[in-house]
């Protein structure tokens, strides 16, 4: 498949490795190490000078692509015993509602670059069944833009709509904006009304294409060609609706040979017309690490490096253009993905809703996802949208069959971020603590700490990854501004088997447990973090 050409790039470029020394955003302080238990002091100050700007909850969004069983059998299945009147799976819908996912990217991904949105609107019996060339699958078009936007409203999430800038034109992109957002009296808004939807959908966030730097992408083109096309599409779309938030398509990841140069050339063409640029990244515990879990658990630091590098390119172009506008970043695809990444797992064999990319996640994957969440929190001043890729059945936290669903291991850190990361990220200062050497990465601290403070309900949440595979580490938390604190919640995700997975047969094999309650005395809370764990603590202050 076309996608395999990307794997060639990935292998060659990852051989070059990424050099990163330590978590430069964490300013670690280390204290003494005592026997088998290392102790470090963690201090944070509730003073607003030590808080990042208010957290945009969209940083913890997700993604649903017309791919495999994400849409069909995942969120939409009119023949299911769980279907509601719209054909939506109620059990999955309620689960996503409970998660409170703030924004969902749709309809792709690679799929979008050959997608004709007109095939997916209007009477269902008239919609064509087409060959989806991105995934060699049959697309029935029974679920399209209006169904997705109705699903979003029912769930209580915002859409992040992807546009076809592969085979599609800027004119068809602007037509979709008109179809979605103009009230009435124009060709495309009246078509929407004819399709039974009187009120405009008012979609604000749009992706200008997907991974156009990749030779696997339908309509792949050079950076200058894409930058010009994105600028044209953005201009036409803004004529229709000036309030849009537009995301240009950045590099597919640091392993691409054109990494950063693509971003620069694209932005040279379209900087003035867009609000953000996209970043994508999938992590694996083979080619990047040789299967070394200690190294794998440090990979969130290379996500931070990627954020810093792409932000630097944006700022460089801003300077060159003497523009007052600073772009934000949309990390709109990120996850662990490497097992279901070749052969049959990638080829739909011209079937409807084939089983594709059904990655089974283990404990170590969930721990890294926790670290990646910490990295997004620490960079939430620049990353305003993020999408865990994806949400249901395809490299996903939620897996369905005809009888129900189960939660994969990675569900839990994502759920904690959604429930507990509220308000603003703390600019935490951790004293340099015990660390370990990761070739190519330098000294990596065992503990990775991120936190939030929510002035609305007076809570502080702390998210801690212990990368040490064999030892517990102690964290001393000094409540500098307020001595008093009331522990509200404490959970830990850990286990003896890093390769343990959940499944329909054992849905709770890897699940959070109540963490030991830390003791606070004289304004100091002592927390013991078990080896190979990701923990959440929330206090009322
Ligand atoms: O999320 C799966 C695929 O990964 C997406 O379709 C594509 O954008 C990326 O390469």
pLDDT tens, residue by residue, 417-474: 999 999 999 988 777 788 999 988 899 999 999 999 998 998 999 999 999 999 999 9
Which DSSP letter does residue 392 get?
A: B
> What are the boundaries of each domain within the chain?
22-37+48-426
Q: Is the pLDDT of residue 331 over 60?
A: yes
Q: Does the beta carbon of 65 sit less than 6 angstroms from any atom of ligand 1?
A: yes
Cα–Cα distance for residue pair 208/330, rounded to 1 Å: 12
pLDDT of the residue at 5: 32
- In 271-397, alpha helices (H): 293-296, 300-320, 363-378
Out of 65, 73, 147, 211, the active site residue is 211
Residue 6's pLDDT is 33
Which has more confidence, 160 or 49? Answer: 160
pLDDT-above-70 percentage for the chain: 90
What pLDDT, on a 0 to 100 scale, did the predictor assign at position 288? 84
Which of 520 and 512 is assigned the larger pLDDT? Answer: 512
Pocket test for ligand 1, best of 7, 61, 333, 395 (most atoms within 8 A of CB): 333
Whole-number pLDDT of residue 478? 82
Is the beta carbon of 213 within 6 A of some atom in ligand 1?
no
Count the alpha carbons within 13 Å of 455 in the hemisphere toward its beta carbon.
10
Give the number of the atom of ligand 1 that is nearest the alpha carbon of residue 65.
Answer: 6
Rounded Cα gap, residues 198 and 189, in angstroms: 9
> For 22-37+48-426, which CATH class?
alpha beta
pLDDT of residue 27: 24
Mean pLDDT of 12-31: 25
Query: What is the torsional sign of CA 401, 508, 513, 291?
Result: negative
| pLDDT for the residue numbered 47 | 54
Task: Kindly report, residue by residue over 247-302, the tens digit of the pLDDT.
Answer: 999 999 999 999 999 999 999 999 999 999 999 999 999 988 999 999 999 999 99
Distance CA 209, CA 234 (A): 11
Q: Cβ neighbours of residue 128 under 8 Å, at least 6 residues apart?
A: 119, 141
Mean pLDDT of 299-309: 97
Q: pLDDT value at position 353?
A: 97
Partners of residue 524 on adjacent β-strands: 478, 521
Residues 87-127 have pLDDT tens digits of 999 999 999 999 999 999 999 999 999 999 999 999 999 99
pLDDT of residue 42: 56
Contact 307, 329 (CB under 8 A): yes
- Produce one character per residue of 454-473: b if its CB has 16 or more CB atoms within 10 Å, e if not: beeeebbbbbbbbbbeebbb
Residue 217 · residue 203 · CB < 8 Å: no
Ligand 1 centroid to residue 281 C-alpha, Å: 10
Most confident of 19-23, 223-227, 523-527: 223-227
pLDDT band per the 50, 70, 90 thresholds, residue 14: very low
Q: Which tens digit of pLDDT belongs to each residue from 60-97?
A: 999 999 999 999 999 999 999 999 999 999 999 999 99
What pLDDT is stored for residue 62 in this prediction? Answer: 98
pLDDT band at 41 (very low <50, low <70, confident <90, very high): low
To the nearest whole number, what is the mean pLDDT of the chain? Answer: 90
Note the pLDDT of residue 270. Answer: 98
Has residue 40 got a pLDDT over 70?
no
Stretch 313-332: mean pLDDT, rounded?
98
What pLDDT score does 318 carry? 98
CB 456 within 8 A of CB 444: no
Query: Which of 162, 166, 61, 175 is closest to 107 using CA atoms?
Result: 162
Q: How confident is the model at residue 11 (pLDDT cuts 50, 70, 90)?
A: very low
Active site residue 139: no
- What number of CA atoms fall less than 13 Å from residue 245's CA on the CB side? 18
Q: Report the C-alpha gap between 413 and 491 in whole angstroms.
A: 10
Within 8 A by CB and 6+ apart from 163, the residues are 112, 173, 176, 206, 207, 208, 209, 233
Beta strands in 77-147 (DSSP E): 103-106, 130-132, 137-139
Summarize pLDDT for 139-196 with one digit per residue, the tens. 999 999 999 999 999 999 999 999 999 999 999 999 999 999 999 999 999 999 999 9
Q: Indicate whether residue 389 lines ligand 1 (CB < 6 A).
A: yes
Report residue 536 CA to chain centroid gap. 19
pLDDT score at 86? 98
CB of residue 370 inside a 6 A radius of ligand 1: no
Contacts of 297 (CB under 8 A, 6+ apart): 364, 367, 368, 371, 465, 467
Q: Structure tokens of 233? A: 């599409």
Q: What is the pLDDT of residue 182?
A: 98
**Amino acid 522: pLDDT:** 81
In sequence order, which ranges of 182-289 are alpha helices (DSSP H)? 187-194, 223-240, 261-270
Question: Which of 211, 390, 393, 397 for a ligand 1 pocket mutation test, highest count of atoms within 8 Å of Cβ?
Answer: 211
Active site residue 333: yes
Place of tokens 């000094």: 478
Q: Which DSSP category does 113 fall into? A: G
What is the C-alpha to C-alpha distance for residues 207 and 473, in angstroms, rounded to an integer? Answer: 42
Q: Which helix (H) or strand (E) holds 172?
A: helix 170-181
- Output phi, psi for 205, to 5 deg: -100, 130
Report pLDDT for 19: 21
303 in Cβ contact with 336 (< 8 Å):
no
């Amino acid at each position: 498949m076309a996608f395999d050409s990307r794997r060639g790039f990935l292998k060659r470029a990852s051989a070059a490795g990424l050099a990163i020394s330590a978590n430069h955003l964490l300013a670690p302080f280390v204290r003494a190490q005592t026997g088998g238990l290392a102790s470090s002091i963690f201090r944070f100050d509730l003073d607003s000078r030590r808080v990042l700007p208010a957290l945009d909850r969209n940083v913890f969004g997700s993604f649903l692509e017309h791919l495999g069983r994400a849409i069909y059998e995942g969120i939409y299945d009119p023949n299911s015993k769980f279907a509601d009147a719209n054909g939506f799976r109620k059990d999955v819908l309620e689960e996503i509602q409970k998660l409170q996912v703030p924004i969902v990217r749709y309809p792709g991904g690679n799929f979008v670059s050959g997608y004709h949105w007109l095939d997916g609107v209007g009477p269902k019996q008239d919609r064509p069944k087409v060959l989806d060339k991105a995934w060699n699958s049959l697309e029935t078009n029974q679920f399209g833009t209006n169904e997705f936007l109705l699903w979003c409203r029912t769930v209580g999430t915002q859409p992040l709509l992807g546009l076809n800038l592969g085979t599609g034109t800027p004119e068809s992109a602007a037509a979709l904006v008109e179809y979605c957002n103009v009230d009435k009296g124009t060709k495309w808004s009246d078509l929407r009304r004819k399709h039974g939807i009187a009120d405009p959908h008012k979609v604000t966030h749009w992706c200008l294409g997907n991974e156009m730097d990749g030779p696997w992408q339908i309509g792949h083109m050079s950076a200058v060609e894409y930058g010009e096309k994105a600028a044209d599409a953005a201009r036409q779309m803004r004529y229709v609706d000036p309030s849009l938030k537009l995301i240009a398509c950045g590099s597919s990841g640091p392993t691409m040979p054109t990494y950063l140069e693509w971003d620069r050339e694209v932005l040279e063409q379209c900087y003035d017309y867009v609000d953000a640029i996209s970043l994508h990244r999938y992590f694996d515990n083979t080619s990047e690490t040789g299967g070394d879990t200690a190294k794998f658990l440090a990979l969130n630091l290379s996500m931070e490096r990627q954020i810093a590098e792409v932000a630097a390119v944006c700022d460089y172009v801003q300077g060159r253009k003497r523009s007052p506008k600073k772009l934000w970043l949309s990390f709109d695809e990120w996850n662990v993905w490497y097992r279901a990444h070749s052969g049959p797992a990638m080829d739909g064999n011209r079937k409807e809703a084939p089983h594709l990319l059904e990655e089974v996640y283990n404990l170590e994957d969930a721990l890294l996802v926790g670290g990646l969440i910490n990295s997004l929190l620490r960079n939430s001043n620049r990353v305003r949208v993020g999408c865990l890729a994806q949400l249901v059945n395809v490299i996903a936290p939620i897996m369905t069959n005809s009888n129900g669903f189960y939660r994969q291991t990675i569900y839990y850190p994502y759920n904690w971020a959604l429930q507990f990361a509220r308000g603003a990220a703390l600019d935490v200062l951790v004293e340099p603590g015990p660390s370990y050497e990761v070739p190519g990465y330098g000294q990596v601290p065992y503990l990775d700490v991120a936190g939030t403070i929510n002035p609305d309900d007076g809570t502080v949440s702390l998210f801690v990854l212990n990368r040490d595979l064999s030892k517990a580490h102690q964290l001393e938390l000094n409540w500098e501004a307020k001595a008093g604190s009331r522990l509200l919640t404490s959970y830990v995700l850990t286990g003896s088997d890093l390769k343990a997975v959940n499944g329909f047969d054992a849905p709770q094999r890897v699940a959070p447990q109540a963490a030991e309650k830390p003791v606070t005395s004289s304004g100091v809370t002592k927390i013991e973090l078990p080896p190979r764990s990701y923990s959440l603590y929330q206090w009322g202050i």
